[in-house]
Structure 1
Amino acid sequence: MQYQGVLKKMSTENLDSVQYYLDMKTDFLSMNQLLNKTLELSFVTYECLQCGLEKEIYRQGFCKSCFFDTASAGDWIMRPELSKAHLDIEDRDLAYEKQVQLQPHIVYLANSSNIKVGVTRKSQVPTRWIDQGAHEAIEIVEVPNRYLAGITEVALKEHIADKTNWRKMLKNEVEDEDLVAWQHKLREFIPKEVQEYFIENNKETTINFPVKRYPEKPKSLNLVKDQTYTGKLVGIKGQYLIFEDETVFNIRANEGLVVKITVE
């Protein structure tokens, strides 16, 4: 079977084991069903996720002009503390920014390669944790806008990491942590204006990934450079496809690439 389409991050369902789906416009692939099958991935061209033109991807699935123009790539996406919609101040498109920023946000702890603090919209729980390859996570505070979540993250990352080590995550070199204890340990560092949003009596969420074998020395596939790759799919974690020869391919980092997938 052969499929072709532009890559966008896989959608997920948190069941007994995470279920992964890849939408390739004309085909909707259940990636779990491809485990233990040999896949050939081939680079075809580029397609910007914003303008749809065949232009080289710059970042986040956008061509360079769209990346610096589209509202969905503003600095506040990566740095929530820069959000200003609650002040009625526009960055690129105030209507869009109000829609995204002025909704409930969660500040959380997730354990993937290590415990890290992060921010996501409430509607993206537990999707955000799955995308990061976290096997356990907990919500710390729920706030009414992105700005409050952002300043909380800034305060907490003085005391705990805010990045994931992707190699360690893929090798599954992780230890279970008492996230409830961590939540309460960090409580005193939450900004004063956010203290009222602290979530009491919370429980951890656990996540199981469909991985048959974890790589000991994961090596990242550059499909644009290599043009084509063939390997047996043995696992999926975060947004990574894991192959038998320890090659890994990050779907999200390759958004905007048009690829052909052949299932042998």
Structure 2
Amino acid sequence: MRVMINTTNYDCSQVKSKMNTTYSHRQQLVREMKSIKDIVELYSALSITNLCDSFGGDIVKTSTSVCAKLVKYVNHPRKEDVTEEEHLFFILEHLVMKRFKHSEKLLLNYVDLPVYNILVPLIVKQGSLSIKRIRSILLTLIEQHNVLHTAVRFNPRINQIEQYIQAATDEIYSFQYSRGISTSEELDGLLTKESIGKFFDFEKGKVLRCHIVQRQDDNNNADGLLYENDIITLSFHHIEFDNSSLMPFIKAFKQIDLANKQQSILSVPQYIDFAL
């Protein structure tokens, strides 16, 4: 369920009648997070001057200026006690600030959930593909692009964030192999988990995950090959990947030929170039 409010002026009762303000629904809003552009389009014309004196002015400008108040509410042990007049603002502040801060500590339910992962599912359309070859391709891509194997740590001694390039090995990315995922419900559950699961360790440079899914549970298929309709899901930590990186990455993944087309690492554009 998505929240839709026309960008016009409502009195307090009208606004609240168009929005479910229960705690469970606030959790749902977090999981169905809109982009900041969508939020601005939905709420930029919603004047709240007449709704609550302490929240006067434009909803977006106001929401971005009350981070301290939001954090206070999020950390409050009895979040359901937020006054009825502030329920609406509690939600909207969170929607905007969550996009600005990308902070797990600002989740309305205050549990250890990730913001999101960037998921790239690939399907084998014909022929076969070796799992060993897939892993070799991934290692080549990781080696070519430093950002895919760079650890980021906070050094309290000098009060600075430091970066360390890690060795490109099989341990630098998360890997899982599954089979017998045959129904659409099972596949949907798997993809949902890949989108919100905590698989990464930024301090160790682990920001990439590969989950290979063999649709049929065939115990006799021990050849290490994927066939038609089998799936390769690649997941990235959201801080490392954006939509503009998607097609260049897929193109690079397809074009790597470890047997015949080895390229010098220095001759290949760095991964950061994909996002520029």
Task: Give the shorter-chain TM-score range.
Answer: under 0.3
Say which structure, 1 or 2, has more relative contact order (CA 8 Å, 6+ apart): 1
TM-score by length of 2: 0.21
TM-score by length of 1: 0.22
| Higher share of residues assigned helix | 2
Name the larger-Rg structure. 2
